[in-house]
Amino acid sequence: MKDEVLFNPTGQLTIEDVLSWMDGGSVTLFTRDKALNHFEIEFVQKVSLVKRDNLPYPGSLLLNKREVEIRSELESKIIATIKSADWGQKIDRKERPLLEQMVKECVDFTTSDKFIEVARKVGRLN
C-alpha cells in the first residue's frame, strides 16, 4: 500500500489530542478527518541523535508509526494539513496556546534546513 493512500484526509483535519513524550521532545498528534478517519502523526525527538534498535530515527516524521520520506509530497501534504487543522473540543482551552506553540515548533523544524542536517547526522540521508 502506498503511503499517499494512507493519508488522504476528507476535509479539514482535527487535532483531537497531543502527547509530549519525555524522551527529549517527541510530539504525537492524534487526528481525525471529516469522515472520521484517524491519523497518528509523530514528530520524533531530536535531542539524542543516536539511532536505537526498534525506535524511529531521531528527528523523523512518522505517519501511523511509519517513517515519512524526507521532502516528499507526502511530507508536504502532512505539514500543510497540520497547519490548517482545527483543534478538537477535548483540548483544554488553557493548554491550547502551549500545544499550538509546540506543534508550530515541530512543523517549523520539519520544514527547516536543520531537519536535513539532523537526517544526515543520524544516517537517514547521505
Is 36 inside any structural domain? Answer: yes
Cell digits for 111?
A: 520544514
pLDDT at 54: 86
Q: How far apart are CA 97 and CA 115, in angstroms?
A: 24
Contact criterion met (CB below 8 Å) for 104 and 43: no
Is 84 inside any structural domain? Answer: yes
List, in sequence order, every residue forming a beta bridge with 42; answer none if it has no partner. 28, 62
Is 105 inside any structural domain? Answer: yes
Element holding 48 (H helix, E strand): none
The count of domains in the chain is 1
Is 73 inside any structural domain? Answer: yes
Helix (H, G, I), strand (E, B), or coil: what is residue 102?
A: helix
Q: How confident is the model at residue 8 (pLDDT cuts 50, 70, 90)?
A: confident
Among the ranges given (48-52, 76-80, 102-106), the one the predictor scored with the smallest mean pLDDT:
48-52
Question: What angle (nearest 5°) sits at the alpha carbon of residue 101, between those of residues 96 and 105?
Answer: 150
Mean predicted confidence (pLDDT) in 19-25? 88
List, in sequence order, every residue forming a beta bridge with 38; answer none if it has no partner. 32
Higher pLDDT, 4 or 24: 24
Is 54 inside any structural domain? Answer: yes
Among residues 9, 11, 8, 30, the alpha carbon closest in space to that of 19 is found at 30
Q: How far apart are CA 16 and CA 32, in angstroms?
A: 7
Is 126 inside any structural domain? Answer: no
Is 85 inside any structural domain? Answer: yes
Q: Locate cell 490548517: which residue? A: 84
Is 42 inside any structural domain? Answer: yes
Q: 94 is in which domain, residue-wise?
A: 3-121
Cell digits for 23?
A: 524522551
pLDDT at 48: 83
